């Protein structure tokens, strides 16, 4: 877009076109997306904004339906519009109309066989899968193969897309239908983007996709993640590599070994358990049970006792009995998870679970949600207390006169798993890695005291103004 003459502005009120990236997964996120579109539409009465355009997953998933239900949006662009997004926005800005697409099942756009997908990928829109080569007329930010990406802040952590789509068929999830089948980014593109981010001052990268354990299966090597992680950790300037979203059923010994023994790769396990009662898991079209999940956690902690583990769970799933809920509570009580997300089941249109005739009453789901949420809150607080006396490596993320110095330890992912408050901030700046001893807890958060000696590494990579 910048090559076509567009300029990114800090304040939406200064934009000719406000582009809202939407989420189409859960009701709360959909509501947030609609609220953001309505807020952007208000700018037309107060600022320079002339048009509001919806992009992202909700725009892709609903297309014409969203456009008809939300006339405040001047355009709704699906993934297939991204390649020509500059022309699409110019048309809308000039008062023209771009017909919104009719949604389709994106799983059908790529071959069923993963091995055949890479050859077909060039003909399918895959957001975030742009190659590292820049198009003609765009100067590279650094080196001959800088990624087509722009940083919007100076934070010391950044996400790196590893793959997109999903081949699993969980009965409660609609994501594969609008994100498509699983397809990996090539290792060279992931490495080049990581090198570029390191040059921008990033200290920690977080690998993201719908299912990182499947990485490489469409490239002919299901163990490709095991060989890629050490290469990412060797990138100059990178202090920490984190992998998000792992499927318990796809965990393998070699991957556990790499995640628990590779320097700079944190022993962090974002495991998508969803439940632990066998009957509920089968209804979800998932695998495992309480004892197998606990065995997996024992294996991980035998190799890395301080490993961080988080997971999400759905309660009130159709057919869930009191015995099933008790089994989930048994798992949670013994799992010693660092962070727990609990969600009450609700129908997601287009999913198999929405057709089940064993749904629970909404008040039952709400009661179970409250009950398990209370237990989860107690358990993560207890787990934090278990870390008293541990030494942790903290990546400093904010320095504030009133709130003090805050960062994250290896077992804490950005925004989801709590943070660390350092008792002393003398000489510390955003982007530094500090060794500290845990001396207190505040719920899931830790309070830690920086250790003396050469424990502070790295250097400040953003200005004080940016830090504020």
Residue 414: what pLDDT?
Answer: 92
In this prediction, residue 399 carries a pLDDT of 92
**Residue 349 within a domain:** yes
- Confidence (pLDDT) at 342: 97
Query: What's the pLDDT tens digit per position in 230-249?
Result: 999 999 999 999 999 999 99
For residue 224, give the CATH number of its domain.
3.80.30.20
For residues 219 and 83, state if they share a domain.
Answer: no
**At CA 16, angle to CA 15 and CA 20, rounded to 5?**
65
CATH number for the domain that contains residue 50: 3.40.50.12160
Q: Is the residue at 461 inside a domain?
A: no
Q: Of 366, 386, 406, which residue is a domain's last?
A: 386
Please tell me whether residues 112 and 89 are part of one structural domain. no
Total number of residues shown for the chain = 468
Span 373-403, pLDDT tens digits:
999 999 999 999 999 999 999 999 999 888 8
169 and 281 housed in the same domain: yes
Say which residue the tokens 């350092």 belong to. Answer: 422
Share of the chain above pLDDT 70, in %: 93
CA dihedral 361, 366, 368, 374 (to 10 degrees): 180
The mean pLDDT value of the chain amounts to 90
pLDDT digits (tens, 9 = 90+) for 261-284: 999 999 999 999 999 999 999 999
- Cβ 183 vs Cβ 164: under 8 Å: yes
* Residues 29 and 140 occupy one common structural domain: no
Q: Establish if 38 belongs to a structural domain.
A: yes
Residue 177 lies in a domain: yes
Q: Identify whether 465 is part of a domain.
A: no
114 and 150 in a single domain? The answer is yes
Range from 37-46, 193-202, 288-297 carrying the lowest mean pLDDT: 37-46
Interval 8-24 mean pLDDT:
91
Ramachandran assignment for 271, one of left (phi > 0), alpha (psi -120 to 50 degrees), beta (any other): beta
**pLDDT band at residue 130 using 50, 70 and 90 as cut-offs:** low
Residue 467 lies in a domain: no
Residue range(s) defining the domain that contains residue 237: 108-386
Instruction: Return the residue matching tokens 């709400």.
Output: 366
* Residue 132 confidence class, pLDDT cut points 50, 70, 90: very low
Same domain, 323 and 420: no
Do 161 and 204 have their domain in common? Answer: yes
Question: Taking residues 189-210, what's their average pLDDT?
Answer: 94
Who contacts 412 (Cβ-Cβ below 8 Å, separation ≥6)?
A: 308, 338, 339, 418, 419, 420
- 457 within a domain of the structure (yes/no): no
Pair (38, 179) in one structural domain: no
Question: Mean pLDDT, to the nearest integer, of 105-129?
Answer: 87
Same domain, 127 and 209: yes
* Residue where a domain stops, chosen among 68, 103, 138: 103
Number of domains in the chain: 3
Q: How far apart are CA 19 and CA 81, in angstroms?
A: 13
Mean pLDDT over 129-140 rounds to: 49
pLDDT at 133 over 80: no
**Which run of H or E residues covers position 98?**
none
Looking at 103, 122, 148, the residue that finishes a domain is 103
Tokens of 225: 């993640």
Q: What is the mean pLDDT of residues 461-465?
A: 38
pLDDT at residue 468 in the model: 37
- Of 459, 447, 433, nearest to 403 by C-alpha is 447
Has residue 210 got a pLDDT over 50? yes
The verdict on residue 464 lying in a domain is no
Q: Kindly tell me if the per-residue pLDDT of 3 is higher than 90.
A: no
Write the pLDDT tens digit of every residue in 43-102: 888 878 999 999 999 999 999 999 999 999 999 999 999 988 999 999 999 999 889 999
* CATH number, residue 407: 2.40.50.140
Instruction: Name the burial class of residue 13, with classes exposed (0-12), middle (13-18) and buried (19+) by CB atoms within 10 angstroms of its CB.
Output: middle
- Same domain membership, residue 221 and residue 365: yes
**Same domain, yes or no, for 174 and 89?**
no
- In eight-state DSSP terms, residue 268 is E
The per-residue pLDDT for 151 is 85
Other CB atoms closer than 10 Å to residue 60's CB: what's the count? Answer: 29
Angle at 413 between CA 416 and CA 40, to 5 degrees: 55
* Binding-site entries: 166, 170, 173
The pLDDT value recorded for residue 324 is 98
Per-residue pLDDT reduced to its tens digit, 418-456: 999 999 888 899 999 999 999 999 999 999 999 986 544
453: DSSP letter: S
Pair (297, 315) in one structural domain: yes
Annotated binding site for [4Fe-4S] cluster: 166, 170, 173
Task: State the Cα–Cα distance between residues 369 and 23, nearest whole angstrom.
Answer: 23
Q: How far is CA 362 from CA 107, 318, 331, 353, 366, in A?
A: 32, 11, 24, 15, 6
């Amino acid at each position: 877009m910048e090559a076509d003459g567009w300029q990114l502005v800090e304040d939406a009120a200064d934009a000719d076109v406000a582009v809202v990236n939407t989420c189409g997964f859960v009701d709360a996120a959909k509501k947030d997306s609609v609220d953001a579109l309505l807020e952007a539409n208000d700018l037309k009465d107060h600022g320079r904004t002339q048009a509001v355009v919806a992009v992202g997953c909700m725009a892709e998933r609903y297309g014409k339906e969203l456009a008809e239900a939300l006339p405040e949006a001047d355009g709704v662009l699906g993934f297939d519009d991204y390649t020509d997004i500059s022309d699409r926005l110019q048309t809308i800005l000039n008062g023209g109309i771009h017909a919104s697409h009719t949604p389709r099942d994106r799983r059908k756009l790529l071959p069923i066989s993963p091995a055949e997908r890479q050859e077909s990928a060039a003909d399918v829109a895959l957001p975030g899968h742009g190659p590292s080569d820049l198009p003609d007329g765009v100067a590279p930010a650094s080196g001959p193969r800088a990624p087509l990406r722009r940083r919007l802040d100076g934070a010391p952590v950044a996400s790196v897309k590893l793959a997109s789509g999903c081949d699993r068929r969980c009965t409660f999830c609609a994501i594969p239908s609008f994100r498509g089948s699983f397809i990996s980014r090539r290792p060279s593109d992931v490495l080049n983007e990581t090198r570029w981010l390191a040059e921008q001052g990033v200290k920690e990268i977080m690998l993201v996709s719908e299912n990182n354990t499947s990485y490489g299966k469409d490239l002919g090597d299901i163990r490709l993640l095991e060989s890629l992680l050490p290469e990412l950790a060797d990138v100059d300037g990178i202090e920490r590599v984190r992998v998000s979203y792992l499927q318990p059923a796809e965990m393998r010994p070699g991957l556990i070994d790499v995640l628990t023994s590779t320097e700079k790769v944190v022993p962090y396990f974002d495991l998508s358990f969803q439940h632990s009662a066998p009957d509920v898991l089968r209804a979800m079209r998932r695998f495992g049970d309480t004892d197998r999940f606990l065995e997996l956690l024992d294996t991980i902690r035998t190799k890395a006792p301080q490993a961080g583990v988080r997971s999400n769970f759905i309660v009130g799933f159709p057919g869930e009995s009191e015995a099933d809920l008790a089994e989930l509570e048994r798992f949670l009580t013994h799992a010693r998870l660092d962070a727990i997300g609990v969600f009450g089941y609700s129908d997601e249109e287009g999913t198999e679970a929405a057709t089940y005739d064993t749904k629970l009453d909404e008040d039952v789901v709400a009661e179970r949600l409250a009950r398990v949420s209370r237990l989860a809150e107690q358990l993560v607080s207890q787990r934090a207390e278990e870390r008293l006396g541990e030494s942790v490596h903290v990546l400093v993320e904010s320095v504030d006169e009133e709130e003090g110095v805050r960062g994250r330890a290896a077992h804490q992912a950005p925004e989801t798993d709590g943070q660390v408050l350092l008792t002393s901030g003398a000489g510390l700046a955003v982007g530094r890695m500090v060794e500290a001893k845990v001396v207190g807890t505040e719920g899931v958060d830790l309070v830690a005291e920086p250790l003396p000696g050469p424990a502070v590494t790295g250097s400040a990579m953003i200005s004080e103004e940016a830090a504020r």
